[in-house]
């Protein structure tokens, strides 16, 4: 297979409501898509990088730039030796930019699998046909607003609630949700690095709510700090931002910094590395779940396939299209009894809806 051209598409997809984390608030999902044209057909991927370098150092225009200037030319240099499996080794010399690397690998993999009539689920080793869905709930201005939102998601059928927290929005909202919806609600929190080593006593107060986990409480480089916190509190510590590779996952597990892992393929450089993390965790007896980056259908489809692997034993942030968007870029993913079907068609199993994509497109650039 050979890479002939790549179209980089910048889209602004409106969110139904603002999504606020400890890192900031977004009302429009601003993303870059990678549309790979190969000699065996085309492939699609959504790059997870945010508009701002707030979740990680990557951001959408930087991702487009590094793809255009370095990664796409490198993949083209592979000539007819191109495969999805060859992308990560070819880009290994370049530091970081894992979301950009992931997007190129995923688009090429989509083309490769479409050509061979294989689904992402089959390629990755999925063992389920549908996956349980959780939902990530942003920080709100008021507690009544939060309660109304959580109540709505539970009425929709979501099986697990994740509350975004930050200093000043932690103990009270968690307590209210736990007391209102009862001890059986699967409840977890995500701090997106908002706390420090000085906040351990504050975080220990959350122990009384029997949370499934606390996600990324302190800064991403501080893996030792997370190990210290994990010893200090009873709530399981789950790393997101910190886990950028299978090697880091192995080390974080070994020092006790994470007893559950949030796997986001984009954060770790792609689906192939994500499966490696799944396997490292499985061998160590560490459950994993699939995180999200507010992806439209193009990104969500592949995440659902990954979430169907056997060690994904907790509900993911793989919510239905309607949780985020009035109009998705593909046929919408729907929630049925708290679960979402894993796509079965070739490649990611869904196609962009041209007129919707055109409506949300801000700019396109061809790299040849």
Give me the active site residues, please: 164, 264
193 binds, among ligand OSB, Mg ion, none (CB under 5 to 8 A by kind): none
CB of 223 to Mg ion, least distance (A): 16
Which residues in 176-195 contact Mg ion (CB under 5 A)? 190
**Considering beta carbons, is residue 30 or 317 the nearer one to ligand OSB?**
317
176: closest CA among 194, 149, 216?
149
d(CA 36, CA 32): 13
Q: Does 351 bind Mg ion (CB under 5 A)?
A: no
Angle at 282 between CA 48 and CA 344, to 5 degrees: 55
Residues 348, 331 contacting (CB under 8 angstroms): no
| Structure-token pair, residue 132 | 């349980």
Angle at 205 between CA 200 and CA 198, to 5 degrees: 15
Span near Mg ion by CB under 5 A; candidates 150-158, 212-220, 277-285, 330-338: 212-220
d(CA 296, CA 203): 33
- Cα Rg, the chain, nearest whole Å: 20
Which residues in 119-138 contact Mg ion (CB under 5 A)? none
**Considering beta carbons, is residue 99 or 272 the nearer one to ligand OSB?**
99
Q: Does 240 bind Mg ion (CB under 5 A)?
A: yes
144-148: long-range contacts (C-beta < 8 A, 24 or more apart)? 146/173, 146/176, 146/177, 147/176, 147/177, 147/180
**Considering beta carbons, is residue 170 or 240 the nearer one to Mg ion?**
240
317 binds, among ligand OSB, Mg ion, none (CB under 5 to 8 A by kind): ligand OSB
**Considering beta carbons, is residue 84 or 163 the nearer one to ligand OSB?**
163
Using CB positions, name the residue nearest to ligand OSB: 292
Residues engaged in binding ligand OSB (CB under 6 A) = 55, 136, 190, 192, 240, 291-294, 317, 319
Pattern 301-340, Mg ion, x by CB under 5 A: ----------------------------------------
User: Residue 340: enclosing H or E segment and its boundaries?
Assistant: strand 339-341
Residues 238, 75 contacting (CB under 8 angstroms): no
CB of 279 to ligand OSB, least distance (A): 22
Task: Please tell me the count of residues contacting Mg ion according to CB under 5 A.
Answer: 3
CB of 207 to Mg ion, least distance (A): 20
201: closest CA among 220, 224, 229, 177?
229
d(CA 102, CA 111): 14
CB of 353 to ligand OSB, least distance (A): 20
153 binds, among ligand OSB, Mg ion, none (CB under 5 to 8 A by kind): none
Q: How far is CA 73 from the centre of its chain?
A: 26
**Considering beta carbons, is residue 7 or 54 the nearer one to Mg ion?**
54
CB of 190 to ligand OSB, least distance (A): 5
Q: Does 110 bind Mg ion (CB under 5 A)?
A: no
CB of 4 to ligand OSB, least distance (A): 32
Q: How far is CA 224 from the centre of its chain?
A: 24
Residues 201, 225 contacting (CB under 8 angstroms): no
CA distances from 163 to 21, 212, 285 (A): 9, 12, 25
**Considering beta carbons, is residue 111 or 135 the nearer one to Mg ion?**
135
User: Which residues of the shown chain bind Mg ion in the complex (CB under 5 A)?
Assistant: 190, 215, 240
């Amino acid at each position: 297979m050979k890479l002939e051209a790549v179209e980089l598409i910048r889209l602004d997809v409106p969110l139904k409501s603002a999504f606020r984390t400890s890192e900031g608030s977004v009302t429009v999902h601003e993303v870059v898509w990678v549309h790979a044209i190969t000699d065996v057909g085309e492939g699609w991927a959504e790059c997870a990088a945010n508009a701002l370098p707030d979740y990680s150092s990557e951001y959408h225009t930087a991702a487009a730039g590094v793809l255009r200037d370095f990664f796409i030319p490198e993949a083209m240099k592979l000539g007819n030796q191109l495969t999805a499996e060859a992308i990560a080794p070819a880009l290994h010399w370049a530091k970081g930019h894992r979301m950009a690397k992931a997007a190129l690998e995923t688009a090429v993999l989509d083309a490769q699998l479409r050509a061979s009539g294989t689904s992402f689920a089959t390629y990755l080793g999925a063992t389920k046909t549908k996956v349980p869905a959780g939902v990530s709930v942003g920080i709100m201005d008021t507690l009544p607003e939060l309660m109304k939102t959580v109540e709505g998601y539970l009425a929709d059928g979501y099986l697990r609630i994740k509350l975004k927290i930050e200093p000043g929005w932690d103990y009270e909202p968690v307590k209210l949700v736990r007391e209102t919806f009862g001890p059986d609600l699967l409840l977890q929190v995500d701090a997106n690095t908002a706390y420090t080593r000085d906040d351990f006593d504050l975080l220990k107060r959350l122990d009384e709510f029997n949370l499934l986990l606390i996600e990324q409480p302190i800064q991403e480089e501080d893996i030792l700090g997370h190990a210290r916190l994990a010893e200090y509190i009873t709530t399981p510590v789950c790393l997101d931002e910190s886990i950028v590779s299978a090697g880091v996952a192995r080390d974080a597990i070994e020092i006790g910094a994470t007893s559950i892992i949030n796997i986001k393929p984009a954060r770790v450089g792609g689906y192939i590395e994500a499966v490696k993390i799944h396997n490292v965790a499985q061998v160590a007896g560490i459950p994993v779940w699939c995180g999200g980056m507010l992806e439209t259908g193009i990104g969500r489809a592949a995440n659902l396939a990954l979430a169907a692997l056997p060690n994904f034993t907790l509900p993911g942030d793989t919510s239905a299209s309607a949780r985020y968007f009035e109009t998705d870029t593909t046929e919408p993913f729907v929630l049925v009894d708290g679960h979402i079907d894993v796509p079965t068609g070739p490649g990611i199993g869904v196609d962009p809806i041209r007129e919707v994509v055109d409506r949300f497109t801000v700019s396109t650039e061809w790299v040849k």
